[in-house]
Structure 1
Amino acid sequence: MNRLLPLAATAVILASVAACGTTKVDTPAAGAPSAPASQTCANDTTKTATGPVSITDGVGRRVELAKPAQRVAVLEWQQTEDLLTLCLTPVAVADPKGYGTYVKAETLPASVVDAGQRGEPDLDAIYAQNPDLIVVEAFKADDEIITKLEKRGVPVLATVGADAGGQIANMKKVFSMIGKATGRTERADIVLEQFDEHLAAAKQKVAAATVTAKDFLFFDGWIEGGNVVIRPYGKGALFTELGEQLGLTAAWTDSINATYGSGGVDPAYGLAQTDIEGLTAVGSATLFYSDDATPDSYVTELRKSPIWTALPSVKDGRAYAFPAGVWGAGGPLSNEQAIDAYVTILTKG
């Protein structure tokens, strides 16, 4: 199973179907990125609202709460990270072990209840925690998971986890929505303001470095049937958009294609799929990729490939691994981690 693939991306795809020269980035210096909520929330002084909440969620449903939600169960990792950044620990989370492996922006307390898998939540475990809100990821109002959850009478907030038409804007929208639902709008506004400042400062650093090799591709991957599967982040992908914000030019030029699997990138996450040889399509573009510290890491096999070692960017020393745990579909702090990784690479003397 490809554990890196977000649940909603899997749903979109199924519904639409269908070494040498490598540098590892050091962890950003202390003080550069924002600290995780476990540290920052201890000194948080923002006010939490107390009155009724009326909100239109990501799929157009009206969600009414008598008061801001405090006992929240979450079925996706971006939204789990968001809650922690908003200084609220969820009562139950889908696949907390996977979250701990792939998302390092925010630490999930060990006490949080395991709510099953992202694709197959344990409803009994969720409702045993007496939640006053369940946050899910969906792309339509009649999504099966919404229908199942609403039968129990607990409000469900559906968030759209990705939008290839504007990933940064969508990330902010989801974060603000969860902030409003939990009465933490003031905190949400401050975090997003800090994100904007972080990105602006990063742009200045990269501009000052006068980067010349601007064509780039970010990718991740997995092992399937003994083979390495490569997932290029195409036009519209979150990490592609971040790179473009920093002045880079996307080298993976496939267009958005609703029949993902037969070519193109999917309309939600902006992701494509290929093999190692497919990386030759971007020529001499600089390569960035997600490191994977798990025992079945695709990176180990990737670096053994003669096709990989023959790529121009690898031979020239322009293939760079992001630190493990920089989640490619996360909230503001995951995005700041990605920005820091790009800046560290692009401005290294």
Structure 2
Amino acid sequence: MITLRTALVAVAAVAVLGACGTTETAAPEPASSGSSSAAPITVTDARGKQVTLDRPASKVVALEWGEAEMVMSLGVMPAGIADVAGYKTWVTAATPDASVKDIGTRQEPSVDSIAALQPDLVIMESDDETLVPQLEKIAPVIVAKGSDASRNFDRLHEDLNMIATALGKTGEAARLMSGLEATLADGKAKLAAAGFAGKPFVMADGWKDGSKISIRLFGKGSLVSEVVTRLGLVNAWEGEVDAEWGLGTTDVEGLTALKDPDTRLFYNASDGVDVFADGLASNAIWKKLPFVEKGQVSKLPDGIWTFGGPLSCKQYAEAIVQAYTA
């Protein structure tokens, strides 16, 4: 089974994604905010474990970018994030300020760096659970699911609500989801009015290893597929995908299965390595694909995180609608 961490390591420097930054983010609060008289808070995380905090957390460390985005979008600036430079390349929905410390890579965060920040909460995803015993000696830990291809939109809502509860920001979470739902409803209406309701789409990213180009498809159940499905479009990729992230891998020959001339392909290359425009430009099979021949290939704006929170999903929806209606 593919996990996000495995997929990202497999693609070396490439397998993380991104796009545009048009969405406004709630103004972050200082890390010291929060009332010492606030009542204790108990949340149940993705492990099914109840975690009790003495008061809403305000000094937070996030080990994955989706959760870091959610913390900032809820109005709290994290004390630490894994791979801050990478985050700024791939995620523009919520921006860390200069106070945020880098606590190592997402694959191998530094426990010492986390401890030095003296956080009152550490947020991680299920893939990171082997670190929990060490981190629980430093601060309370809550584990987000991160992805579930059987119900990813509901999972997003649940992860956001869990984090918001721990931060005392449930009102902000409700507003974020309401804003996303409004964007999706508006986008769906615009696409329908332009005659695109029910049209097929494909979302991908890719990487090059020597002369070999591999393509990763975001199949049914992936978060971005859930977003675009709610816009009234249909994911055309029928290949095998994993049960957690909804991701599958193919090569350029595998794309020949996409025969519908109405199919539009979207891809992500936020780090500047564009295997679709550069690596496949002279490939005879690529050039004969219907969506290539018809000019229906769209590179997303840099900095849209395809595994993000409500603001990244909002950016993604807006970019898709723009590509169809511009």
Taking the aligned partners of 1:8 and 1:232, their CA distance within structure 2 comes to 14
The one of 315, 319, 323 equivalent to 1:337 is 315
Taking the aligned partners of 1:12 and 1:294, their CA distance within structure 2 comes to 16
- Are 2:306 and 1:321 aligned? no
- Secondary structure at the aligned position of 2:117 is classed as coil
- Are 2:10 and 1:10 aligned? no
Give the TM-score normalised by structure 2: 0.87
Quick check: 1:73–1:135 contact (8 Å CA) kept in 2?
A: yes
The one of 69, 86, 89 equivalent to 2:74 is 86
1:114 Cα offset (Å): 0.7
Q: How does 1:1-349 map to 2 (within 5 A)?
A: 8-11=3-6, 34-37=23-26, 40=27, 50-138=38-126, 143-150=129-136, 152-211=137-196, 214-254=199-239, 264-284=240-260, 286-299=263-276, 300-348=278-326
Quick check: 1:50–1:183 contact (8 Å CA) kept in 2?
A: no
Give the TM-score normalised by structure 1: 0.82
1:223 Cα offset (Å): 2.0
Consecutive unaligned residues of structure 2, counting only runs of 5 or more, are 10-18
- Secondary structure at the aligned position of 2:248 is classed as coil
Quick check: 2:66–2:309 contact (8 Å CA) kept in 1?
A: yes
Give a deviation string over 1:116-138, Cα, whole Å, max 9, x none.
01110011111100101100000
Distance 1:224 1:186, change over 3 A: same
Taking the aligned partners of 1:211 and 1:281, their CA distance within structure 2 comes to 21
Give a deviation string over 1:233-264, Cα, whole Å, max 9, x none.
1111112122211121221113xxxxxxxxx2
1:8 Cα offset (Å): 5.0
1:194 Cα offset (Å): 1.3
Give a deviation string over 1:51-100, Cα, whole Å, max 9, x none.
21101001211101010111000100000100110111111110111101
Aligned length: 309
Distance 1:183 1:8, change over 3 A: farther
Taking the aligned partners of 1:12 and 1:340, their CA distance within structure 2 comes to 26
1:289 Cα offset (Å): 2.6
- Secondary structure at the aligned position of 1:317 is classed as coil
Quick check: 2:20–2:304 contact (8 Å CA) kept in 1?
A: no
1:295 Cα offset (Å): 4.6
Q: Which deviates further from its counterpart, 241-250 or 181-190?
A: 241-250
Taking the aligned partners of 2:286 and 2:300, their CA distance within structure 1 comes to 17
Taking the aligned partners of 1:13 and 1:108, their CA distance within structure 2 comes to 22
Taking the aligned partners of 1:55 and 1:110, their CA distance within structure 2 comes to 30
Taking the aligned partners of 2:8 and 2:323, their CA distance within structure 1 comes to 32
Distance 1:41 1:149, change over 3 A: closer
1:220 Cα offset (Å): 1.0
Distance 1:216 1:78, change over 3 A: same
1:305 Cα offset (Å): 2.5
- Secondary structure at the aligned position of 1:128 is classed as helix
- Secondary structure at the aligned position of 1:54 is classed as strand
Taking the aligned partners of 1:244 and 1:238, their CA distance within structure 2 comes to 10
1:41 Cα offset (Å): 5.2
Quick check: 2:91–2:304 contact (8 Å CA) kept in 1?
A: yes
Quick check: 1:8–1:137 contact (8 Å CA) kept in 2?
A: no
Taking the aligned partners of 2:28 and 2:100, their CA distance within structure 1 comes to 17
1:111 Cα offset (Å): 2.6
Distance 1:91 1:293, change over 3 A: same
- Secondary structure at the aligned position of 1:272 is classed as strand
Distance 1:100 1:153, change over 3 A: closer
Consecutive unaligned residues of structure 1, counting only runs of 5 or more, are 1-6, 15-25, 255-263
Quick check: 2:207–2:213 contact (8 Å CA) kept in 1?
A: yes
Q: Which deviates further from its counterpart, 101-110 or 83-92?
A: 101-110
Distance 1:180 1:12, change over 3 A: farther
